[in-house]
Amino acid sequence: MQSTNAKSKMNCQRRKFIGRAGAAAAMLTLAPGVRLVDLALARPADEPASDKVRWGMLVDATKCAQGCTECVDACNEEFGLEGMGRPKTDAQYIRKIDLKDKTTGKRYSLPMLCQHCETAPCVDVCPTGASFRRVDGIVLVDKHICIGCRYCMMACPFKARSFIHENLTNQVPEAPRGKGTVESCTFCVHRVDRDREPACVEACTRAGHEALVFGDMNDPGSGLSQRLRELPNRQIRADLGLNSGVRYHGV
Amino acid sequence: MRSVRYQTLAGQSGGYWILLAVLAVLVAMGYAAAHYMEVNGHYVTGMSNQIVWGTPHVFAVFLIVAASGALNTASISSVFGKSDYKSLARLSALLSVALLVGGLIVLVLDLGRPERLIVAMTYYNFKSIFAWNIFLYIGFLLVVAIYLWMMFEPRMNKFGKSAGTVAFIWRFVLTTGTGSIFGFLVARQAYDAAIMAPLFIIMSLSFGTAIFLLVLIAAFEWTGRPLDDDILRRLKNLLAIFVSAVLYMTLAYHLTNLYATEHHGVERFILLDGGVYTTMFWLFQVILGGVVPLVILFSPTLSRTRGALIAASILVVIGGLAQVYVIIIGAQAFPLVLFPGMEENSTFFDGAVNSYTPSAPEILLGIGGIALALLIAVVAMRVLPFLPERLGEQPSATSEPVAAEAAAG
Ligand code: SF4
Ligand code: SF4
């Protein structure tokens, strides 16, 4: 845990850029012993999240290896997602989907995660505004005001969200979680705000697959933008017009 | 017009206290179940990350939908000036408030964080139909409370019609709002239909009328109040029309869905090979909850007996619960299609039909909600004069076309 000073400073900053009246909620206790202070850590005080940026990701399914779960494992470790041995209720921020074309029999393997939709259905339906989209395109759940109604889970076309079904122990300080609320991939906002890549991307690169590219979609010079220009790619469920932040190549 | 005399329930009878005790125990069990779920987390229920709305939602939505329909009798009397129904308007309004409260409590207690209800009341996302519904529900309770006050307070009687009209409009908006909760979930194949809202309105009329009939008969028979068959006959005809309309709208819903090729999968699932959901649909919703009641209600001999009328109403309630079950849980059991034309496989059950088994706590919570609604009604009838001393013996035009009344609903 960080010092109280740093925490309150970040809280201030966070309130500023999220622009919501979260002050009272920030006092709430998430779970016994865990005080959720900063779901979305601020960037350095002089640099709020910017709407010039749109964080995004390219999944290159041609490079994603069948049976490989490096990204999933890294995510589970980053967020302390420990399975309870109950697959139906265990949280998964990122999962591997194996596909088989019903006609040709061709197989694909790719990770599925929150697509950080621009017009996010989860944000639209959330009654309290707990589901929100940062100006830089990252979709998050403010766990102080999530009431656990699960409407966002009903609305998400990608099953990207998990509901916390039990009391949790051994939480990771950087990403506190709480029973009875909903959570999903945060694009590792706590890393991104410190100019680091999401854990899954790092792990995939480390393993030598390089199937995941992360970056700023709005910056034509970013590695992501270049790859998006070079490779044909698409959005999953493009018919819904979500302008998702995660694009897929090779499927 | 002859004035109607209302009476509170006389409290000497042991039956009343037994009824009260039974309902109180059921309510307590429902609350205990909710507490158990909250302390342990929802893994003790049947819900999962695939089926996120379970049995409590079925009961809650059923009650909320029925609440608006239960007000129908009051609406007919005040908005459309049918004086025969007037003496039942208080009971009708009471029942609608009670059912709504019962449904809302179940909904709230099934939240992941029920103690944050205050958050839900103070933070609003105005784009969310759910948030709008919170306003609609609270507003409905207020409007009906005022309406009741106008009916109880002789000096205010003259405003009864206006208050009734407001309540009448409000309940349509409310049911539309409830139906739209599902209508907005475009990613779910089963809900991708504009017909959702009107379907919910007609369901509300059917469920609400059935419950109203049951409570009416019970309240009058158990307190020895004379109940004229004429009013029952009218309500019976209304119910028959509403049940037919629900069947018709269900047909229309599935036909529209079948028209869209991409929805054939989910249609096949519900109608043909969805296992328990297919059974629920055909056996409980369509046959037991629709066809059988219609046979009873339209049969000239059967429909004259009170027992048959009670049976038909109970069947409509059971069929209604089954219908909401299929709508809410059946739709989630069918997998989301992310990659059309591909077989999907994952650790998160992509591409697989999701299984769901209701757990005891969820069922108890749902039943607790029904019990709470009845408890509120039973206590209120004891405290305030909701029930007329007798029904009937007023000269009434028996040849009145029923269709006009139905349209009024
Ligand atoms: S993928 Fe789902 S959870 Fe993520 S932004 Fe889109 S709707 Fe929301
Ligand atoms: S579960 Fe939480 S984040 Fe999701 S819609 Fe409900 S309040 Fe919003």
Q: How far apart are the first and last CA of chain B?
A: 23
Residues of chain A positioned with their CB less than 8 A from the CB of B49:
88-92, 153, 159, 161-163
pLDDT at B259 over 90: no
Helix (H) or strand (E) holding B141: helix B129-152
Name the closest residue on chain B to residue A152, using Cα atoms. Answer: B185
Q: Provide the β-strand partners of residue B377.
A: none
- Residues A64-103 pLDDT 10s: 999 999 999 999 999 999 888 999 999 999 999 999 999 9
pLDDT of residue A172: 87
DSSP 3-state of B353: coil
Give the ligand whose atoms come closest to the C-alpha of residue A143.
Answer: 2
Do B343 and A84 count as a contact with CB atoms less than 8 A apart?
Answer: no
Of the partner residues B53, B123, B134, the one whose CB lies closest to the CB of residue A145: B123
Percent of chain B with pLDDT over 70: 94
> What count of other Cβ atoms lies within 10 Å of the Cβ of residue A7?
15
In angstroms, the CA B366 to CA B56 distance is 5
Q: What is the pLDDT of residues B88-130, one digit of tens each?
A: 999 999 999 999 999 999 999 999 999 998 888 888 898 999 8
Question: Could you tell me how many CB contacts below 8 A there are between chain A and chain B?
Answer: 177
**A97: nearest CA in chain B?**
B346
C-alpha pair distances (Å), B321 with each of A3, A129, B318, B324, B328? 53, 31, 5, 5, 10
B353 reaches A (C-beta below 8 A)? no
**Coil vs helix vs strand at B335:** coil
CA of B185 to the centre of ligand 1 (A): 13
Identify the domain containing residue A29 by its residue range: 12-249
Using CB atoms and an 8 Å cut-off, which of residues 97-156 of chain B contact chain A? Answer: 111-114, 116-117, 119-120, 123-125, 127-131, 134
pLDDT confidence of A44, banded at 50, 70, 90? low
Site of tokens 């909401």: B324
Q: Report the SS3 class of residue B226.
A: coil
Cβ neighbours of residue A108 closer than 8 Å, sequence gap 6 or more: A61, A64, A98, A99, A100, A101, A250, A251, B342
On whether residue A32 sits in a domain, the answer given is yes
Asked if A126 and A109 touch (Cβ cutoff 8 Å), the reply is no
- Domain count of chain A? 1
Residue A151, pLDDT > 80, answer yes
For atom 2 of ligand 1, which residue has the closest CA?
A156
What phi and psi values does residue B89 have, to the nearest 5 degrees? -60, -40
Between CA B261 and CA B105 the distance in angstroms is 39
Tokens of B364: 């108890």
Q: Report the residue of chain A nearest B129, measured CA to CA.
A: A125
Domains of chain B: 6-238+360-388 (1.20.1630)
In a domain, A181, yes or no: yes
Ligand 1-lining residues (CB < 6 angstroms): A 114-117, 120-122, 139, 156, 158, 160-161, 184
Tell me, yes or no, whether A225 lies in a domain: yes
- pLDDT digits 0-9 by tens, B361-409: 999 999 999 999 999 999 999 999 999 988 865 444 443 344 444 444 3
**Which chain A residue's Cα is nearest to B47?**
A89
- Mean pLDDT for B296-300 is 93
Tell me which residue has tokens 């409310």.
B174
Q: Which of A101, A124, A147 sits opposite B341 (nearest CB)?
A: A101
* Residue A4 in domain: no
How much is the mean pLDDT over chain A? 85
ipTM of the complex: 0.90
Mean pLDDT of B43-50: 96
Please indicate, yes or no, if residue A133 is contained in any of the structural domains: yes
User: Which residues have a Cβ under 8 Å from the Cβ of B338 and sit 6 or more positions away?
Assistant: A97, A112, A157, A158, A236, A237, B344, B350
Residue whose Cα lies nearest atom 8 of ligand 2: it is A126
Q: Whose CA is nearest to atom 6 of ligand 2?
A: A149
CA-nearest residue for atom 7, ligand 2, is A146
At B2 the pLDDT is 54
Once rounded to an integer, what is the mean pLDDT over residues A46-61?
Answer: 88
Closest chain B residue to the Cα of A106, Cα to Cα: B342
Write the DSSP string, B162-209.
Answer: HHHHHHHHHHHHHHHHHHHHHHT-TTSGGG--TTHHHHHHHHHHHHHH
In A, which residues are within 8 Å of B38 by CB distance? Answer: 180
CB contact under 8 A, B49 and A161: yes
Tens digits of residue pLDDT in B123-178: 889 899 989 999 999 999 999 999 999 999 888 888 888 999 999 999 999 999 99
Token pair 């307590």: residue = B28
Asked, for residue A199, whether it belongs to a domain, the answer is yes
A96-105, A150-159, B38-47, B72-81: segment of lowest average pLDDT: B72-81
Specify the pLDDT at position B187.
84
pLDDT for B12? 64
Q: Which of B42, B120, B187 sits opposite A156 (nearest CB)?
A: B187
| Inside any domain, residue A7 | no
First to last CA, chain A: 42
Query: Could you tell me the CATH number of the domain that includes residue A153?
Result: 3.30.70.20
Evaluate whether residue A116 is within a structural domain. yes
Report the gap between the CA of B55 and the closest CA in chain A (Å).
14
Across the interface, which of A89, A103, A124 has its CB nearest the CB of B48? A89
Span B9-26, pLDDT tens digits: 876 678 899 999 999 999
Cβ-defined contact of B350 to A237 (cutoff 8 Å): no
For residue B131, the ligand closest to its alpha carbon is 2
CA distance B367 to B324: 15
Strand partners, B343: A100
Phi, psi of A182 (to 5 degrees): -110, 145
Least confident of A99-113, B172-186, B267-281, B285-299: B172-186
- From the CA of B245, how many Å to the nearest CA of chain A? 28
Q: Do A154 and B127 touch (CB under 8 A)?
A: no
* Helices then strands, each counted (H, E), chain B: 16, 3
pLDDT for B79 equals 82
pLDDT tens per residue, range A115-130: 999 999 999 999 999 9
Average pLDDT, chain B: 90
Tokens, residue B110:
């099934």
Tell which wins on pLDDT, B250 or A169.
B250
Chain A: give the shortest CA distance to residue B334, in Å.
Answer: 12
- Ligand 1 atom nearest the C-alpha of A184 is 3
Mean of pLDDT values over B170-198: 87
Residues whose beta carbon lies within 6 Å of some atom of ligand 2: A 125-128, 130-131, 141, 146-152, 182
